């Protein structure tokens, strides 16, 4: 049973109009349970679109998406996945604990169970003493950790992340990458991770999916062999640089395309 | 600041009385400067002392008590009008934010409704008083004034709330959808909380609108008991007792301020846990 199965998926926006955009053409991707897969590629390659198709926030034009062997829409209704975005997107009017409880509240959990789970998640992200603070009283890195706690609050088997560390400074970013790996190992969560950063993709992933724009498609699948346990030392390891070089070369091909295709932008951000 | 501004207004008033022309200034035959004599512009202290004297000669009842009672009467009507107006306003904005087609169809009519002069509408609505009954409950006369208050207050509330409901970031809506939240859950847990900074100024406008609506309705329909009625009654005596009408006018102003104050208090309460830079 695969965690995510994307079969022959195309996504065309504004089909049949002059503004038609082929966001994704014939994409096939399988993610195994426990795997960490990054999607990387230049702007407009459809990596965010692919993530939203898996999340069932968009419907594919053709092809099918299954999550945990269920249809994408069923797994969304069952909350089989949690999601985190570049902006932490915490609600200003809720305390940190109440933010984490949000998905549980929507599922109809009772109050005590919610509070206990929120505390458990706060300990997981190492911020147990911040439960009663408000999000705007925390730093950007802390907010993003709360967002991850919220995404994982219902213990979903799958975590979908759209450039979650894109707005953080380099040091916080590296720290967060380490934290994310630790959290995912502790909770054995499968992750699909969209990023712009090559070192980030290599450091985090078991496999890096390289995508290219116009039309958006998968051009390469690169396996990263850094072993199960990655530490700060990994960032200096020879295998790490081998991985970076491999991804960079795969991306170089897509980038030439990108330059030739002209400067049409903006699809990525829809 | 508020006290200082009052002192400033009083000083300006009295200064104009000193330098302004007694019988008004004329420019090309048209009166442009108001008369500064004691009939048109009584001294501030004359107005204030008028509160302490009896309403009519030989009566024990002082003016301040009459004005206070009138203000209390109008205040209750305004509250009814405001509650009515805000329920209609919020209800409409929810409908409009749910169905784009309702927004496109309804909003122009709402704007047009506000261009109808209240004075024209007041006698019509007043006619319903005592003549109309809904589900066996007779439409009381005072309710017409409250309805006119609601008529002025619902519009800013509907427009402000509509903007507020639409202000929820797209990413937050997407997040709620990823949790398979229903439309109602998104409305209650995301859209309304994000609308509050937009709703508070709208409700302030709505609150003062309902006071204006009620007072104007009282004046144009002659409803007894309220501050509006006092204003016309006292205005008739303006030549003999010029300070008296001002006591009622100040009563109406205080009424509007009280309503706005009630909203300001709820503002502080509702925004107590929000980031400080977004509080208004």
CB contact under 8 A, A91 and B174: no
Give the pLDDT of residue B130: 66
- Segments of chain B scoring below 50 in pLDDT: 278-280
Of A4-13, A109-118, A150-159, B17-26, the range with the lowest mean pLDDT is: B17-26
Instruction: Over range A10-36, report the average pLDDT.
Output: 85
User: What value of ipTM does the predicted structure carry?
Assistant: 0.79
Minimum Cα–Cα distance from A99: chain B residue? B189
Is the separation of the CB atoms in A55 and A81 below 8 Å? Answer: yes
Q: Where are the alpha helices (DSSP H) in chain B?
A: 2-19, 44-52, 63-98, 100-113, 118-128, 141-166, 170-178, 183-186, 192-221, 227-236, 242-270
Long-range contacts of A132-138 (CB under 8 A, 24+ apart): A132/A95, A132/A96, A132/A97, A133/A95, A133/A96, A134/A92, A134/A94, A134/A95, A134/A96, A134/B273, A134/B274, A134/B275, A135/A88, A135/A90, A135/A91, A135/A92, A135/A94, A135/A96, A135/A99, A136/A92, A136/B274, A136/B275, A138/A96
Is the Cβ pair B178, A105 closer than 8 Å?
no
A-to-B residue pairs, Cβ atoms closer than 8 angstroms = 52
Write out chain A residues lying below 8 Å of B190, CB-based.
91
What is the rounded distance in angstroms from the CA atom of residue B195 to the CA atom of residue B107?
A: 18
Cβ distance of B171 and A85 shorter than 8 Å: yes
DSSP state of A235: G
| pLDDT for res B35 | 75
Whether A102 and B275 lie within 8 Å, measured CB to CB: no
Cβ of residue A133 closer than 8 Å to a chain B Cβ: no
In A, minimum Cα distance to B270 occurs at: A93
Q: Is the pLDDT of residue A227 over 80?
A: no
pTM of the full predicted structure? Answer: 0.78
Q: Which pLDDT score, from 0 to 100, does residue A254 have?
A: 65
Q: Which residue of A has its CA nearest to B182?
A: A106
- All residues of chain A having their beta carbon less than 8 Å from the beta carbon of residue B278 are 92
Chain A CB contacts of B185 below 8 Å: 106
| Per-residue pLDDT reduced to its tens digit, B208-266 | 889 988 988 888 877 788 888 888 888 888 777 778 888 888 888 888 888 888 888 88
Query: Does residue A268 register a pLDDT over 60?
Result: no
* Res A167: pLDDT: 80
CA distance B119 to B212: 11
Q: Which regions of chain A carry the CATH code 3.40.50.300?
A: 1-80+156-167+185-270
Complete domains list, chain B, with CATH: 69-272 (1.10.3720.10)
What does the alpha-carbon distance between residue A196 and residue A161 come to, in Å, rounded to a whole number?
12
Which pLDDT does position A255 carry in this prediction? 54
Instruction: Please name the fold of domain A1-80+156-167+185-270.
Output: Rossmann fold (3.40.50)
Contact yes or no for A103 and B169 at CB 8 A: no
Q: Which residues of A touch B279 (CB under 8 A)?
A: none
Closest Cβ opposite residue B175 in set A76, A83, A107: A83
Residue in chain A closest to B276 (alpha carbons) equals A136
- What's residue B258's pLDDT? 87
Query: Would you state the pLDDT for residue B270?
Result: 86
* pLDDT number for residue B41: 79
Whether residue B177 and residue A92 make contact (CB cut-off 8 A), yes or no, is no
List pLDDT tens digits, range A203-212.
Answer: 888 888 988 8
């Amino acid at each position: 049973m695969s965690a995510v199965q994307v079969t022959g998926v195309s996504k065309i926006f504004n089909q049949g109009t002059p503004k038609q955009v082929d966001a994704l053409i014939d994409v096939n991707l399988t993610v195994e349970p426990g795997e960490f897969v990054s999607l990387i590629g230049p702007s407009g390659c459809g990596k965010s679109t692919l993530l939203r198709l898996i999340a069932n926030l968009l419907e594919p034009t053709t092809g099918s998406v299954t999550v945990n062997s269920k249809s994408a829409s069923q797994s969304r209704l069952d909350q089989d996945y949690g999601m985190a975005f570049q902006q932490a997107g915490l609600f200003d009017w809720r305390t940190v604990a109440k933010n984490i409880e949000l998905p549980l509240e929507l599922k109809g959990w009772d109050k005590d169970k919610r509070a206990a789970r929120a505390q458990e998640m706060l300990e997981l992200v190492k911020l147990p003493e911040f439960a009663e603070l408000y999000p705007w009283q925390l730093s950007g890195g802390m907010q993003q950790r709360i967002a991850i706690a919220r995404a994982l609050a219902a213990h979903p088997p799958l975590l979908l992340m759209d450039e979650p560390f894109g707005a953080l400074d380099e040091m916080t970013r590296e720290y967060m990458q380490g934290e994310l790996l630790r959290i995912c190992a502790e909770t054995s969560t499968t992750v699909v991770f969209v990023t712009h950063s090559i070192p980030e993709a290599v450091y985090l992933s078991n496999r890096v999916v390289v995508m290219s724009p116009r039309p958006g498609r998968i051009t390469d699948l690169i396996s990263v062999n850094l072993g199960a346990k990655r530490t700060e030392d990994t960032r200096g390891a020879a295998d790490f640089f081998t991985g970076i070089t491999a991804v960079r070369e795969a991306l170089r091909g897509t980038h030439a395309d990108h330059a030739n295709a002209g400067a049409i932008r903006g699809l990525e951000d829809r | 600041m508020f006290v200082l501004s009052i002192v400033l207004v009083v000083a300006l008033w009295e200064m104009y009385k000193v330098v302004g022309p007694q019988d008004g200034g004329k420019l090309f035959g048209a009166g442009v400067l108001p008369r500064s004599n004691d009939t048109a512009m009584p001294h501030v202290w004359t107005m204030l002392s008028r509160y302490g004297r009896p309403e009519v000669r030989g009566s024990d009842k002082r003016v301040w008590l009459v004005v206070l009672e009138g203000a209390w009467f109008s205040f209750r009507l305004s509250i009814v009008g405001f509650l009515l107006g805000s329920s209609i306003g919020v209800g409409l904005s929810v409908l409009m934010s749910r169905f784009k087609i309702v927004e496109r169809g309804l909003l122009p009519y709402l704007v047009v409704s506000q261009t109808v002069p209240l004075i024209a509408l007041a006698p019509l609505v007043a006619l319903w008083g005592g003549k109309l009954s809904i589900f066996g409950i007779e439409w009381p006369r005072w309710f017409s004034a409250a309805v006119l208050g609601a008529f002025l207050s619902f519009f800013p509330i509907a427009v402000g709330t509509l903007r507020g409901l639409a202000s929820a970031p797209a990413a937050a809506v997407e997040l709620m959808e990823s949790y398979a939240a229903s439309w109602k859950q998104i409305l209650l847990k995301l859209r309304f909380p994000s609308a509050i900074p937009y709703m508070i100024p709208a409700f302030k406008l709505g609150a003062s609108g309902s006071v204006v609506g009620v007072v104007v309705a009282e004046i144009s329909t002659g409803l007894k008991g309220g501050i509006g009625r006092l204003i016309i009654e006292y205005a008739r005596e303006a030549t003999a007792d010029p300070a008296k009408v001002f006591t009622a006018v100040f009563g109406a102003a205080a009424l509007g301020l009280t309503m706005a104050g009630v909203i300001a208090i709820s503002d502080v309460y509702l925004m107590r846990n929000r980031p400080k830079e977004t509080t208004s």
